[in-house]
Chains A and B, each alone.
Chain A
Amino acid sequence: NAGVTQTPKFRVLKTGQSMTLLCAQDMNHEYMYWYRQDPGMGLRLIHYSVGEGTTAKGEVPDGYNVSRLKKQNFLLGLESAAPSQTSVYFCASSEDRVYGYTFGSGTRLTVV
Chain B
Amino acid sequence: KNEVEQSPQNLTAQEGEFITINCSYSVGISALHWLQQHPGGGIVSLFMLSSGKKKHGRLIATINIQEKHSSLHITASHPRDSAVYICAVRSNFGNEKLTFGTGTRLTIIP
Instruction: Give the B-binding residues of A (Cβ under 8 A).
Output: 31, 33, 40-45, 48, 50, 56, 58-59, 88, 90, 92, 97-106, 108
Contacts and interface: CB of A to CB of B under 8 A. Distances in A.
Interface of B: 2, 4, 31, 33, 35, 40-45, 48, 86, 88, 90, 96-103
Given A31-B96, A48-B96, A97-B90, A42 B45 contact: no
B100 to A, nearest CB: 3
Given A106-B41, A106-B42, A42 B96 contact: no
A105 B96 contact: no
Contacts of A104: 42
Nearest to B6: A42
Given A40-B102, A105-B42, A106-B41, A100 B96 contact: no
A42 B4 contact: yes
Contacts of B40: 105
A101 B47 CA distance: 10
B47 to A, nearest CB: 8
A59 B44 CA distance: 22
Contacts of B45: 100-103
15 contacts: A40-B102, A42-B2, A42-B86, A42-B88, A43-B100, A50-B96, A56-B96, A58-B97, A98-B48, A99-B48, A100-B45, A101-B33, A103-B35, A103-B42, A104-B42
B4 to A, nearest CB: 7
Given A42-B2, A42-B100, 19 more contacts: A31-B96, A33-B96, A40-B102, A41-B102, A42-B103, A43-B88, A43-B98, A45-B98, A50-B96, A58-B97, A59-B97, A90-B43, A97-B31, A97-B90, A97-B96, A99-B48, A100-B33, A105-B40, A105-B41
Contact of A45 (B4, B96, B102): B96
